[in-house]
Structure 1
Amino acid sequence: MFAGHPEEARSSNGSTADTAMVRSPYFGNSARRLEHGAERHFLPRRTEPAMSARKATAPHEASRGTRWVLLICCLTVIFDGYDLIVYGTVVPSLLADKSWALTPADVGRIGSLALVGTLVGAMVVGTLTDLLGRRRTMIGCLVWFSVAMPLTALAPDPTVFGLLRFITGLGIGGVVPTAIALTAEYSPEGRRQLNNALMFSGYSIGGILAAVLALWLLPVVDFRVMFVIGAAPLVIVLPLAIRMLPESIAFLTAKGRHDEAAAYARRFGLTAYRPPAGPTSAPRPTAGPKRALGETARTIMGGRRLPMTLLLWAISIIGLLLVYGLNTWLPQFMRNAGYSAGSAFTFLLVFNVGAVAGVIIAGALADRLGEKLVIAGSFCIAAVAVLLFITKPPTALLLVIGAFAGFGSNTQTLVNAFIGGLYPPQSRATALGWALGVGRIGAIVGPAYGGYVLTQINAGSLSSHWSFYAFAIPAVLAAILTVLVPRNRATDRPETVDAHLPAERASATGD
């Protein structure tokens, strides 16, 4: 997300550890979080000055460490995506369950509860990381939603089911910003955007996993099994995270644990790390937070930037509405259009395959053509593809159209980068955080919006084509709003990640 630059690492006594830190394809850290000194399994027991005299970790070791961080964060986001998108695969089963007698509007509201939970979880994660650190917070949230998923399978009625979806969302909302922060912090200069895109693609990979399992399991087992599978991270991800996930150097620095932070930086080749000057035993004081916040707010909302900020907020709302609305309702819309359950889940599968491709291809195109043009074009592709569903072309062509719909709908990651380039460095993190916070309105509304449209169709108030009009129209609107954003790009991009900046503010979520 931010690029780093090499710095000399100094020991606690001020001596230079290495005049040129090792630069590797990946800067990483496979060590566990240090607690008041180095852990025996990962770092030798020696004093900080003694370690300072040693060379930085070899490039291949640092590279391997970062791959572990990226793998753990990506796996976490994959199951995050699975836990959210799996709801779309069980919507037809929920509507067919006579004992619960749910209407499309009911199902839409239940779908939105998980997104409300993610909003609350994202709001409290900053406090949790301040108290516990990013490593403990991420592991705790991972356990939280992995336990909540199988409990959801045991829900005896829709009320408890909805409550447990909300509780699941709390863990999901807390884990994503932390995963983003750790991915950014342990990525090398020139690789943060790519690693960020790879990690974010985990959400859509989770959607692919949900669709594949639905194709395989739902014809023969109860839909509740899909939620039981949500406990898999306890076996697959948790052991890796406990052993290999490092603590954030930014957290250690903010807590005054500079020796530990410096040990991580030297061992794993984090050349962007700059030890603070002066005493290393106390955290750096923060001066005038209210004043700083006020100045940042004026930068974001004041003068000529106010219309731009409001446009970006609206784009974020629509972008997340498309992602969560279509992932929730696409299988049911296709069932209503006359396709079999297997075909409906296949459409969800190719939709998310297209979304994964979109993250990579659109990012590469944006580097050449500019984010604004690519974002507007992606929204137009989404609108056209969704409208083409109405024509009922041959199934093979329809699958291609579904992939393009996913390609165009998964534009929010690119929107995040676009927002970051429109504000001065000192206010970018806050501007992005506010845009994502407001954008979650779209994530929450998306499932309920789709349920409302389907209810109106079932009541005869709207034609069946409105299943697709309802999402094509917002996509066109988002494209128009993107074109209207003024060309006011900030030129002075940040080159480092400030170790004291809360990464939850500097991160971008896909949820």
Structure 2
Amino acid sequence: MNGGGSNVYRWVAALCWIAVAVEGFDVVVLGAVLPSLLRYEPWGLTAAAAGLITSLTLLGMMVGSLTIGTVTDVIGRRKTILICVTAFSLFTALCAVAPSPEVFGALRFLAGLGLGGVLPTAIALVAEYARRDRGSASVTNLMTGYHVGAVLTALLAIPIIPAFGWRAMFVAGALPALVIIPLMLRKLPESLSFLLAKGRTAEAEELAGRLGVRLEPEAAREVEREERREDAGPLRTIFSGGYLPGTLAMFVASFMGLLLVYGLNSWLPEIMRGAGYPLGAALTFLLILNVGAIAGLIVAGPVADRVGSRVSCVAWFALATVFLFLLSVRLPLPVTYLIVAVTGFWVFSSQVLVYALVGKYYPTTGRATAMGWVAGIGRVGSICGPLMGGFLVGAGLALPWGFYAFALAGLIGAIAIAVVPASPVYETNRAPLRSGATGG
């Protein structure tokens, strides 16, 4: 094994993981502070207004995903992720001093622009450095960072909010940028696959030399030939006749998956508090949901690499449907905790398996664009989830109708992935590194 290559992969995976963890913290923090915001007398927020603020964040993420995914297929992975992490950290810090709900909502929208660009860029970069037989696992392992960030949000919220108020949570969400940005500047390389796909072979060879890895000549030439043949422009590629049916089906699945992710993360504490649980227990549900999500991601990647991303994704969405329906039934608290954990196991991995499928489905020159568009269209679902939750909570219908609605979303997601056709060309990722040179 080429030790240098293994070290490169570890740095890429670690730095992208941390970026996604910080993104997870900054997204889920709003769900953690929502009960406090609704009771913050100077602002006098209603449930509907709080849902609108949540949706502004997600609207920014949608715009960021749709635009920045394409940008990274033009300017590269490294520059894009640096810009995104810097932007969302800055605007998250400013949320801590927002003087009004209007300014707060605007800052959340601007933070969302950067947040939306992190995920497609990080997934593309990690997938392009991962070993070919670990493509799905590399994506699901990366996404454990999101849920570790979410768990840290819940853990920190329990002591911080009562002691220092909700504003302190946004300071905590911005501080990691002081470490991660300098590390990225020093240790994060550009994607060799991206450089080859753009015909920048000399630059790829020079970078490979500095990184201590060896390009596999035949694989590198094959990547370059195939990418040039497929490169009609990133947008045209993903909407071309061969890819279009799969693209549309994955749009639907991503919409449903992100509706579940953000609907539950935003409103589960308030739904459970409305069901009679105290604030501490309601926040514990959020914690348990995301602990279950981490366990699901650890299992989902290896399963997908063995049986296929599409088959695994259908199964995960279907099982999420079953357990979301069970949450509508009032059960003893320990049993409810268990069902919430198992629900998190299936729900969050379903969405990530959609991303894993995207990573294998498209050519390098359109991969980040496809990831951005699938995530971006999914953000429409992420906007609808909190809005739906706010409506149901405000109308007093969150139990049981909220969980019925979430279960229906899971069922539609399963059906959408089931009808995705085979990729026209790219059944697996092809890495230009010598076999065994990368980890993952």
User: Is the TM-score greater than 0.5?
Assistant: yes
Match of residue 467 from structure 1: 402
2:347 corresponds, among 403, 409, 432, to: 409
Contact conserved, 2:57 with 2:109, CA < 8 A, in 1? yes
Give the match for residue 136 of structure 1: 79
Does residue 476 (structure 1) correspond to residue 411 (structure 2)? The answer is: yes
Match of 1:400?
338
Q: Deviations over 1:19-54 (max 9, x none)?
A: xxxxx3xxxxxxxxxxxxxxxxxxxxxxxxxxxxxx
> For residues 233-266 of structure 1, what are the alpha-carbon distances to aligned partners after superposition, in whole Å with 9 as ceiling and x for unaligned?
2223122112211133345456765433202224
**One-letter amino acid matched to 2:265:** N
Match of 1:385 among 323, 328, 353: 323
Which amino acid letter does the alignment assign opposite residue 202 of structure 1? G
Shift in CA distance, 209/80, structure 1 to aligned 2, threshold 3 Å: same
8 Å contact kept, 2:310–2:417: yes
Contact kept? 2:139, 2:352, Cα under 8 Å: no
**What is the TM-score normalised by the length of structure 2?**
0.85
The answer to whether the Cα contact below 8 Å between 1:134 and 1:248 also exists between their aligned partners in 2 is yes
- Matching residue's letter, 1:358: G
Distance in 2, matches of 1:227 and 1:146, equals 9
Q: Report what 1:124 is aligned to.
A: 67
Q: How does 1:127-276 map to 2 (within 5 A)?
A: 128-129=71-72, 133-250=76-193, 252-253=195-196, 258-266=201-209, 267-272=211-216
CA contact (8 A) 1:149 1:230 kept: yes
Q: Give SS of 1:191's match.
A: helix
- Cα separation, 2, equivalents of 1:209 and 1:148: 20
Partner of residue 443, structure 1: 382
Aligned partner (choices 112, 116, 125) of residue 55 of structure 2: 112
Contact map agreement 1:208 1:352 (CA 8 A) in 2: yes
AA in 2 matched with 1:335: R
Q: CA deviation at 1:204?
A: 1.2
Query: 1:74 — aligned with what?
Result: 17
Q: 1:137 to 1:367 in 2, by over 3 A?
A: closer
2:427 is aligned to 493
* Inter-partner Cα distance in structure 1 for 2:46 and 2:27: 20
Shift of 1:126: 4.9
1:299-448 mapped onto 2 (5 Å cutoff): 299-301=242-244, 305=245, 310-410=248-348, 411-418=350-357, 434-448=373-387
Amino acid across the alignment from 1:268: G
| Partners of 1:388 and 1:348 in 2: CA distance | 17
The whole-number CA distance in structure 2 between the counterparts of 1:179 and 1:463 is 35
Name the one with the larger helix percent: 2
The separation in 2 between residues aligned to 1:273 and 1:293, in whole angstroms, is 29
Question: Which structure is richer in relative contact order (CA contacts within 8 A, separation 6 or more)?
Answer: 2
SS in 2 for 1:119: helix
TM-fit CA distance, 1:403: 0.9
CA distance in 2, matches of 1:103, 1:415: 34
Structure 1 residues 250 and 61: CA distance shift in structure 2, 3 A: closer
Structure 1 position 358, deviation (Å) = 1.3
Could you tell me which residue of structure 1 aligns to residue 34 of structure 2? 91
Are the structure 2 counterparts of residues 262 and 69 from structure 1 closer, same or farther at C-alpha, using a change threshold of 3 Å?
same
Identify the range of structure 1 (363-372 vs 109-118) with the bigger mean alpha-carbon deviation: 363-372
1:450 CA drift (Å): 1.2
Residue pair 1:142, 1:233 contacting (<8 A) in 2 also: no
CA distance in 2 between counterparts of 1:296 and 1:258 reads 27
Give the Cα–Cα distance (whole angstroms) in 2 for the partners of residues 85 and 333 of structure 1: 16
TM-score (norm 1): 0.74
Q: What CA RMSD, in Å, does the superposition of the two structures yield over aligned residues?
A: 3.3
Distance in 1, Cα, partners of 2:365 & 2:228: 18
Q: Distance in 1 between matches of 2:371 and 2:55?
A: 23
Amino acid paired to 1:401: I
Q: Deviations over 1:393-414 (max 9, x none)?
A: 3333222111111112110121
Match of 2:393 among 433, 448, 454: 454
Out of 362-371 and 259-268, give the one that drifted further: 362-371
SS at match of 1:219: helix
Task: Label 1:142 to 1:399 Cα distance change in 2 as closer, same or farther (>3 A).
Answer: same
How much does 1:473 deviate? 2.6
Check the 8 A contact 1:186/1:270 in 2, yes or no: no
Distance (whole Å) between structure 2 residues aligned to residue 424 and residue 65 of structure 1 = 22
Deviation string 1:328-382 (CA, Å, 9 cap, x unpaired) is 1111111111111111111111111111111222333345555455434323432
CA contact (8 A) 2:37 2:45 kept: yes
- Residue aligning to 1:33: none
User: What SS does the corresponding residue of 2:388 show, helix, strand or coil?
Assistant: helix
The residue number in structure 2 matching 1:56 is none
Flag the structure with larger Rg: 1
Partners of 2:425 and 2:299 in 1: how far apart? 24
Task: For residue 150 of structure 1, report the CA deviation from its aligned partner.
Answer: 1.3
Contact 1:300-1:427 within 8 A present in 2 as well: no
User: CA 1:492/1:96 → structure 2, altered by over 3 Å: closer, same or farther?
Assistant: closer
Q: Deviations over 1:289-333 (max 9, x none)?
A: 3799379522234xxx4xx65444322211110011111111111
Show structure 2 runs of 5+ residues with no match. Answer: 222-226, 434-440
Instruction: Give the number of equivalent residue pairs.
Output: 426
1:274–1:232: structure 2 CA closer, same or farther, 3 Å change rule? farther
Q: Which moved more, 1:107-116 or 1:386-395?
A: 386-395
Q: Tell me the CA shift for residue 477 of structure 1.
A: 3.4
